[in-house]
Every structure is written in C-alpha cells, then in structure tokens.
Amino acid sequence: MFTKDGKDDSRYNRDNIEFIKHSSPTVGELIEREYERQKGNIELIASENYSSEAVLAACGSCLSWKYAEGYPEAERKTGNRGRYYGGTEFVDQIEEYCCKKWKEVFDTDYHVNVQPHSGSQANFSAYRVAVDPGDTVLSFSLDNGGHLTHGSPVNFSGNLYDMVFYSVDHNGFIDMEDVCKKARECNPKLIVAGASAYARTIDFKSFGEIAKEVGALLMVDMAHIAGLVVAGDHPSPFGHADLITTTTHKTLRGPRGGMIFSKPELAKKVDSAVFPYAQGGPLEHIIAGKAVCAEEALTSEYKEYIHQVVKNSKAFCQAFLDMGYKVVTGGTDNHLFMLDLSDYHFSGKDLQDELDKIGITLNKNMIPEDKRSPKETSGVRIGTAPMTTRGYLEDDFVKVAKRIDAKIKEMEKYL
C-alpha cells in the first residue's frame, strides 16, 4: 500500500507491472506512470480510494476466466436460480459467501445482489424494479449534489422517466419540506435519496415516511456514504428504503463495482433486473474482490478507519473556514465537503487544473445555484477517504489546506 509520504510498502503493484510489460511494454509503461502518479500525488477525489492488495489480487485472479450467467442455487429462494454454464461449483460458493458477508456487514435480512458491474448499472436495475418508462420519479438533481443516474437529462434516468426534483434550502441543505410538498404534488412512484456531492447527513427516516405517505417506493443510493453507514457514522437506510444501491470502491474501499439490497419481497424482481435485463455474465473475479472487501469491512480496524475519515474531513473543512473560505452548507458531516468558489474570477476547473500541476488531485463540481457550466463549475469537491487509507491524520490535511490556499492566492494574481 502507498504510504503517506509517497512510498509503496509492498511489491504487489510493481511486480504485476513487470508481468504486463512482458506482453505489452506500452500498456505496462503507461500503467507504471499512472502508478507513480497515484503514489506521489495527494488524492482528494471523494469517490476514490485504495483497496487492499488482497482485493486487487482477487480481482486479478483466475475467476476472470469464468462465465457464470445466472445465479447460484444454494440459499437463493427467488425463483431465478441456476447458472447457464457448467463448472460453476466454486464461483457459486464465492458469490453465496459474498452475499452472506454483505448481509453481515449491514446486519440485515434484506436481499442482496452483488452482480452489478457499477453503481450506475445497479441504479439502472433498481429503477427497472420500481418504475416503468414514463412514470414519475422524485429525485435529487446533479447540480444540487445528486448523481448522473438520479435523473440527469443526458442519462437514461432523465430520458426514460418523468423526473421531478426536490431542492436544497438557501444554506445548501436538502429541504425536507420541499421533498414532502413535491411528493404530495407529483405523486411519484419512486423517490430517490442519496448523493454524490452532499456533505450533510441525509434523513432516510423522513424520506421513508414521505414515501410511505404518498405510496411511493424509496430507493437510497448510498454509494458515497456506505462505509459511514457500516461504521455508524451515518444513519442507516436499512429499514426505511425498499431498494438500496451502492458502489463498493468508494468509502467501502473495495473493487470497482455495484450492489443492490432490497426488501425480501423485491428479491426476484431485483435479480431479473440485473440478469438477464441489464447484464449478462457476472464478473466473478470482482465478486470475489467484493467478498474480501466485506470481510475487511467487518473488522474493527475498518470502523476506526472510517471514524478517522470523518474526523479528517471536519478538520480539513474547518481549516478552509478558518482561512475565510466559503464551504457549501458551511461544513461537513461526512467524508467530503464542497469549496464554493463563486466569488472568485476563476472556476472550479481552473483550480482543479492548477492543483494537478502540483500533485494535488481533486475534481471540479457544480454547487447549488451555480452560474457556471458543468464543464467549468464554481466549486471543487474534496474528500478524505483515500489519504486516510494512506495514514493521513487531521494535521496532514490542515497542511494540504494551506497548500491549496497558497495556490488560490497565486491564482488570484496571475489568472
């Protein structure tokens, strides 16, 4: 794993890159350059993380060679049982084990499907369970902090469904009164909660009550905060939501991929919505990586890690506030926060580009009521999960805040 001072204390990545170079020097060298970039840079992208070597090894294992369309027989009572290929004895056991471990992680009797290739694929399938094309969905828009798949017009979600959006209040917090009012007005079949760029606790209980009142299903996309839910640093959507989607590579620190949890009565629909509706063969190597990730998430070390992620985020955010910066919602409750650059003559993109040049990686992001385009933006999103994996503590992040402040002061002069 990469250390906080830009070293690698294992040989795992370097040895694998040498293998690749034997077959393709070009690809091997490009991966090596990316490896050096990742190792040397300060990584602040809120949706990224560094998984363990064990997760990486599972993802690069012989399971990558195996087809296993369908679902394992054992323990599945959904009616979608059985595989369409022979030789699945061991991948069946791995997939069952993966499902069992994730239920343990969230201490839930919800059904789980671990096959979605990504969070977007998981959301695509979850919509299929809850709504038909043309149905009304009440959701959180991309420019306020939602995800692309929460109804953006350039995405399948905005294209297939009649999207209505709830808003944030003038401080940038999700306006639960607006959620309630819009739900009563538009009578949605589905309400979507969850975000990609929202720094505050989401009130899943109230979302659940509103959904119940208007007869809608509630889908929670907990991709960003899933790790915080595991550690008890964010209220759980289990018990409130009918469908819960997540990725496994953000705060959960596993392989790139998705999962869907659902109330047991939706299990059969969820399984069919993933395979054969949205996907063919599951990536059993990634499913093995998800199982390893679940075991890691069950440890007390992982929960300590998440507590530190949140403490670091609060300290990092406070350092910017102390230096006079504007932060959307004025702070953070989770692993990320949004710096508001609307008063500056340069954009979020400009800051992202300038920080790239000094080895600090983050991403431009729209902020509520942004006057700039999504390609420019008036904000940047800052997250602490990756560097906390590398051992950063509060003081380390305060130093990074000072470096970003110095760069902004420089940009004020020459940009």
| Closer of 101 and 200 to ligand DSN (Cβ) | 200
Give, rounded to a whole angstrom, the gap between the first and last alpha carbons of the chain. Answer: 37
Shortest Å distance, C-beta 183 to ligand DSN? 25
Alpha carbons within 13 A on the beta-carbon side of 176: 12
Nearer to ligand DSN, 49 or 318 (CB): 49
Q: Does 335 bind ligand DSN (CB under 6 A)?
A: no
Which residue among 13, 41, 47, 52 contacts ligand DSN (CB under 6 A)? 47
Alpha-carbon 2 to chain mean position? 21
The interface with ligand DSN within residues 50-79 (CB under 6 A) comprises none
Shortest spacing between CB 46 and ligand DSN, in angstroms: 6
- Which long-range contacts (C-beta less than 8 Å, at least 24 apart) are formed by 54-58? 54/292, 54/296, 55/253, 55/254, 55/255, 55/289, 55/292, 55/293, 55/296, 56/12, 56/13, 56/255, 56/289, 57/12, 58/255, 58/285, 58/288, 58/289, 58/291, 58/292
Give 95-155 as a DSSP string. HHHHHHHHHHHTT--SEEE---SSHHHHHHHHHHHH--TT-EEEEE-GGGT--GGGT-TTS
Residue written as token pair 């040989």: 11
67 is known as an active-site residue: yes
One residue of 70, 116, 119, 151 binding ligand DSN per CB under 6 A: 119
- List 8, 32, 53, 69, catalytic entry: 69
Catalytic site residue 71?
no
Q: Is residue 377 at the binding interface for ligand DSN, with CB under 6 A as the rule? A: no
- Selecting among 200, 250, 269, 290, the annotated active-site residue is 250
Q: Shortest distance, CB of residue 16 to ligand DSN, whole angstroms?
A: 26
The distance of closest approach from Cβ of residue 268 to ligand DSN in the complex, given in angstroms and rounded to an integer, is: 27
Active site residue 221: yes
User: Which C-beta is closer to ligand DSN: that of 80 or that of 246?
Assistant: 246
Q: 247, 248, 251, 332: which one is catalytic?
A: 247
**Taking CB under 6 A as the rule, which mask of x and - marks residues 79-118 in contact with ligand DSN?**
----------------------------------------
3-state secondary structure of 27: helix
406 C-beta neighbours (distance < 10 Å), count = 11
Residues 239 and 288: their CA atoms lie apart, in Å, by 27
Rounded CA separation 238/205 (Å): 9
**256, 349, 381, 390: which is the annotated catalytic residue?**
256
Phi first, then psi: what are they for 297, rounded to 5°? -70, -20
Q: In what order do the strands lie in the sheet with 326-327?
A: 326-327, 336-340, 379-383, 363-365
Distance, in Å, from the CA atom of 361 to the CA atom of 388, rounded to the nearest integer, reads 15
CB 288 within 8 A of CB 298: no
In angstroms, what is the minimal distance from the CB of 104 to ligand DSN? 25
Phi, psi of 296 (to 5 degrees): -65, -40
Closest residue to ligand DSN, judged by C-beta, is 47
- What SS3 class is residue 286? helix
* Selected binder of ligand DSN within 66, 111, 128, 147 (CB under 6 A): 147
Please give the structure tokens belonging to residue 340.
């508001």
Beta carbon of residue 119, minimum distance to ligand DSN (angstroms, whole number): 5
Q: At what angle do helices 204-214 and 176-186 cross, to 10 degrees?
A: 20
Which one of 12, 35, 67, 325 is the catalytic residue?
Answer: 67
- Residue 80 or 384: the one with the smaller Cβ distance to ligand DSN is 384
Nearest to ligand DSN of 257, 282 (CB atom): 257
Task: Tell me: does residue 313 bind ligand DSN (CB under 6 A).
Answer: no
Determine the size of the site formed for ligand DSN (CB under 6 A): 4
Question: Is-catalytic flag, 384?
Answer: no
Minimum CB separation of residue 406 from ligand DSN in Å reads 26
Contact 334, 109 (CB under 8 A): no
Residue 196 sits in the site that holds ligand DSN (CB under 6 A): yes
Least CB distance from residue 394 to ligand DSN, whole Å? 24
**69 noted as active-site residue:** yes
Of the candidates 370, 307, 301, the residue with the CA atom closest to the CA atom of residue 342: 370
256 is catalytic: yes
Catalytic residues: 67, 69, 221, 247, 250, 256
Enumerate binding residues for ligand DSN (CB under 6 A).
Answer: 47, 119, 147, 196
